[in-house]
Amino acid sequence: MADFIERLKLRYKRGNVLTRLIFINLSVFILLKIVSVIFTLFNIYAIDLITLLGIPSHIPLLLHRIWTPITYMFVHEGFLHILFNMLWLYWFGQIFMQYFTGRTLGSLYVLGGLAGAMLYVIAFNTIPYYTGMERGWMIGASAAVMAIVMGAAFYRPDVQLNLLFLGPIKIVYIAIFAFILDFLSLGNPMNPGGHVAHIGGALLGYFFAIQYKKGRDITGWMGRAIDWFFGLFKPRMKRPKMKVKHARQQTDWEYNQRKHSEQEEIDAILDKLKQTGYSGLSSEEKKKLFDAIKK
What is 120-143 written as a DSSP string? HHHHHHH-HHHHTSPP-EE--SHH
- Which residue type, as a one-letter code, is found at position 151? G
| 151, 158, 218, 263, 264 from 257: Cα distances, Å | 18, 19, 17, 10, 11
Q: What is the pLDDT along the chain (295 residues), one digit of tens a residue?
A: 667 777 777 778 888 999 999 999 999 999 999 999 999 898 888 778 888 999 999 999 999 999 999 999 999 999 999 999 999 999 999 999 999 999 999 999 999 999 999 999 999 999 999 998 888 899 999 999 999 999 999 999 999 998 887 889 999 999 999 999 999 999 888 888 999 999 999 999 999 999 999 999 999 999 999 999 888 887 766 665 555 555 556 666 666 767 767 777 777 777 777 777 767 777 787 777 777 766 5
Q: Are 197 and 116 in contact (CB under 8 A)?
A: yes
| 173, 236, 277 from 239: Cα distances, Å | 52, 9, 54
pLDDT at 129: 94
Give residue 272's Cα distance to chain centre: 41
Tallying the residues shown for the chain, one arrives at: 295
- The closest alpha carbon to 118, from 204, 225, 189, belongs to 204
| CB environment 2-35: b (16+ within 10 A), e (fewer) | eeeeeeeeeeeeeeebbbebbeebeebbeebeee
Sign of CA dihedral 274, 279, 285, 287: positive
Report yes or no on whether pTM surpasses 0.85. Answer: no
216 SS3 class = coil
Backbone phi, psi, residue 240, to 5°: -70, 145
| 5, 20, 210, 243, 254 from 154: Cα distances, Å | 38, 24, 7, 44, 19
